[in-house]
Structure 1
Amino acid sequence: MNPTSSSSSSSSSSSSLRWRILRQALLRRSDSQSQSGIKRISRKPTQGFNLIPCQVVDSSPASGNSREARVCYTIPIPASPKLYLTQRVDNCSDLNDFEISNRYNIDNTGLVCQWPSEEALAYFCKSHPDRFRDKRVIELGSGYGLAGLVIAAVTEASEVVISDGNPQVVNYIKRNIESNSMAFGNTSVKAMELHWNQHELSELTNTFDIIVASDCTFFKEFHKHLASIIKVLLKANEPSEALFFSPKRGGSLDKFLKEVEDIGLHYILTENYDAQVWRCHETLVKGDESWPNYDKNHCYPLLIQITNHN
């Protein structure tokens, strides 16, 4: 292994370890200290590619939760419906977030912000509606569900399941589906709590024409389960595919793709898959104040198409 690869892999591994140590340390401290000093941890969401215009339309939602806001996303298609998503806006993590992460052995990154890879996935899906028309689609690790909601609103898919393993996140998905129910036409849309290591999935086995996911390959400990559930969910005897959008993030993506191959799946990796996304990327690489410290390896999502056959 060359020094660069070794360094990148080590950096990604260290990031994952730091996240785990921080979570465990906070929970231990809560047993012996007042929670007032550790209830919130500052963090800064990543700037997106600005592919789908959005704005906060209500910073005091009916829920009365000051950590939430209602955000309007304008899909860049003539006469397309606007989507209204309730999501966190205070850029902080509550101690309860970490407690739930430990309890379910999941991460809570879906609560942090609308990640750039999710935006790129949503933009790609709205640009290729024929790919989804009359298809059964599931989004994995969806966060607030922007991509799944866009698919449901503009592609005429027959069914869209928007899933995540974090029950807090699934609650947001349910609320966002309800808020936008009039935008889905005849498409059936539902939320689901789905853990990639679930053993009993008989009702979902070989069910879906298309799986979509964004930025789900960072944590290496989930790679094997993620590859396995792709194989379980995709239709086996009909054309089907998984569309993943993910940055390389050191060696994390490569390690996931090795698991994909080991389980008998096939993939095609594409760097330049959309002219508009690529233009945004090139602008950011040259330096742009809207996204300081933009780094191709950690920020730019590649397209990975995964299938059961060559």
Structure 2
Amino acid sequence: MDNRTTNEKASSLRWKILRRALLSRSSPPHPDEQSQMITKSISRRTGHGFNLILSHVIADSSSSTRDARVCYTLPIPGAPQLFLTQRVDNRADLSDFEICNRYNIDNTGLVCNWPSEDVLAHYCLSHADIFRSKKVIELGSGYGLAGFAIAAATEASEVVISDGNPQVVDYTQRNIEANSGAFGNTVVKSMTLHWNQEDTSNIADSFDIIIASDCTFFKDFHRDLARIVKHLLSKAGSSEAIFLSPKRGNSLDLFLEVAKENSLHFSVMENYDEEVWKRHKGFLNEDRDSWPSYDKGHSYPLLIRITL
């Protein structure tokens, strides 16, 4: 963080973000301009992203709803547009945290469409041929942009978009129904999938490709994530998992250690796409002001490919 702006610790500033989110709309805080700039610079939540999949809101939230329909234009000639209902409200509800505690999950999938998901969708569309006639599952999907993009533009045989948060899965199912005409012959399903669930017999050894973005941040979930990847990968043929994850301190390295302990093989690439790399370099240099909180370790996703 820029010491010319503030000497406050990042942890203190993030508590301010939480306080602002929890305050009701009827009595919002009135931070000064400098405070707003400081908070924006430290927040890991971003409205910017890599902007690789063009999107725009076509229905703003009103006083009676927290949601908006977002139109995504896929960068493939002839591909249909996708219309995904997502939350646009910056306020947190205590009920969200109650559900997180009940299911031992995190709430990040509801917050926004995270930058790594945008990069994952772009990467998958840039390599559409590898998904043709394949069975695909997205883990920890959030709003599932990558899964929806694969379903709409790659001729995959089946795409399962999964998350452990039942609220997220509800959005996914509604969005599947709303975009049913965009998938051609591809079968698209939503699924509530907890990485630590004991019985995976109905889906074990059944997918050709697993995709996931930014799923290695929470260290408590590493062993469950490695376990579910191993169970889901098909033992027949050349199945693999494709992860896009920032380093996030040592969290990615620790996950890879756990993956190795589970006899999973992996490769890690930093420069895997010309356009993604170009934008990454821009955010670090000449385009710095457009994404003030951009940090390589927290924002730039590495490509991890995992096999049995």
TM-score (norm 1): 0.85
In structure 1, what is the equivalent of residue 213 of structure 2?
214
Deviation of 1:96 after TM superposition, in Å, equals 0.7
* Deviations 1:224-259 (CA, angstroms, capped at 9, x unpaired): 000000000000132100000000000000000000
| 2:49 counterpart of 1:48 | yes
Question: How big is the shift at 1:78?
Answer: 1.4
Once the two structures are superposed, what CA deviation does each residue of 1:275-294 show, in whole Å capped at 9, x if it has no partner?
11111101001142221121
Question: Structure 2: which amino acid aligns with 1:297?
Answer: G
Answer whether contact 1:213 1:245 (CA < 8 A) is retained: yes
Q: 1:38 to 1:260 in 2, by over 3 A?
A: farther
Q: Which runs of 5+ in 2 are unaligned?
A: 1-8, 30-38
- How do residues 138-153 of structure 1 correspond to structure 2 at under 5 angstroms? 138-153=137-152
Q: Distance in 2 between matches of 1:36 and 1:74?
A: 34
Alpha-carbon distance, 1:92 to partner: 2.1
Report the counterpart of residue 291 of structure 2 in structure 1: 291
CA distance in 2, matches of 1:75, 1:37: 35
Percent of pairs with identical residues: 62
Aligned counterparts, 1:177-216, within 5 A? 177-216=176-215
**Which residue does the alignment assign to 2:96?**
97
Contact 1:173–1:191 under 8 Å retained in 2: yes
Partner of 1:281: 280
Quote how far apart the aligned CAs of 1:37 are: 9.3
User: For residue 58 of structure 2, what is the aligned residue in structure 1?
Assistant: 57
What's the C-alpha RMSD, in Å, of the aligned pairs? 2.6
SS for the counterpart of 1:117 is helix
Measure how far apart 1:44 and its partner are. 7.1
Residue of structure 1 equivalent to 2:32: none
Q: 1:274 is matched by which residue type in structure 2? A: D
Matching residue of 1:260? 259
- Residue 173 of structure 1 corresponds to which residue in structure 2? 172
Query: 1:66, CA displacement in angstroms?
Result: 2.3
Q: Which TM-score applies when normalising by structure 2?
A: 0.85
The Cα shift of 1:67 comes to: 1.1
Task: After the TM superposition, list the runs of 4 or more consecutive aligned residues in structure 1 that deviate by more than 4 angstroms.
Answer: 35-44
Written as runs of structure 1 = structure 2, the 5 A alignment for 1:113-152 is 113-152=112-151
Contact 1:40 1:94 (C-alpha < 8 Å) held by counterparts: no
Corresponding residue of 1:4: none
Q: Distance in 2 between matches of 1:104 and 1:166?
A: 7
The one-letter code matched in structure 1 to 2:102 is R
Task: Check the 8 A contact 1:153/1:185 in 2, yes or no.
Answer: yes
Q: How many Å separate the matches in 1 of 2:179 and 2:196? A: 30
**What secondary structure, in the 3-state scheme, does the structure 2 residue paired with 1:289 have?**
helix
- Tell me which residue corresponds to 1:300: 300
Name the CA distance, whole Å, in 2 between partners of 1:151 and 1:53. Answer: 16
Q: Name structure 1 gaps, 5 residues minimum.
A: 1-10, 27-34
1:60: how far off? 4.6
Matching residue's letter, 1:87: Q
Who is 1:75 aligned against?
74
SS of match in other structure, 2:173: helix
